[in-house]
Amino acid sequence: MLAKANRIVHGGDFRRIVRTGRRAGGPLAVVHRAQPEAAVARFGFIVSKQVGNAVVRNRVKRRLSEIVREELPTIEATDIVIRALPAAGKADFATLKAGIAPLLEQRS
């Protein structure tokens, strides 16, 4: 689990990042990156019902959180929202990590 300082929890922050941030996409997810409001990198996850039922959605969120936690030392201070696409529900951890990690490394 990510530290509280590294999580985006307010709806207004999600809206700001998705609407004003730069977008990078892949077959498994879309990453929205915006200017930071804090001195640390912050992350939020959007996993809709199109990804799967509640069990699948929660599994995808846990996997995304773990991927971000592993990559956190290499990511500059920025606000990032990761929106999972339906293919993420069927992907295993290694495939998901291979699809997400390059998107996190891209600079805004």
Mean pLDDT of 1-22: 92
3-state DSSP assignment of residue 84: strand
For the chain, how many structural domains are there in total?
1
- Predicted local distance difference test score (pLDDT) of residue 38: 82
Which CATH number characterizes residue 85's domain? 3.30.230.10
Q: Is the pLDDT of residue 106 over 80?
A: no
Q: pLDDT tens across 47-91, in order?
A: 999 999 999 999 999 999 999 999 998 888 999 999 999 999 999
Whole-number pLDDT of residue 81: 96
Q: Which domain holds residue 36?
A: 4-105
The answer to whether residue 3 scores a pLDDT higher than 90 is no
pLDDT at 107 exceeding the cut of 80:
no
Q: Judging by DSSP bridges, how do beta strands 42-46 and 79-84 pair with one another?
A: parallel
pLDDT at 13 over 70: yes
Tell me what the pLDDT averaged over the chain comes to.
93
Which band of pLDDT confidence, cut at 50, 70 and 90, is reported for residue 32?
very high
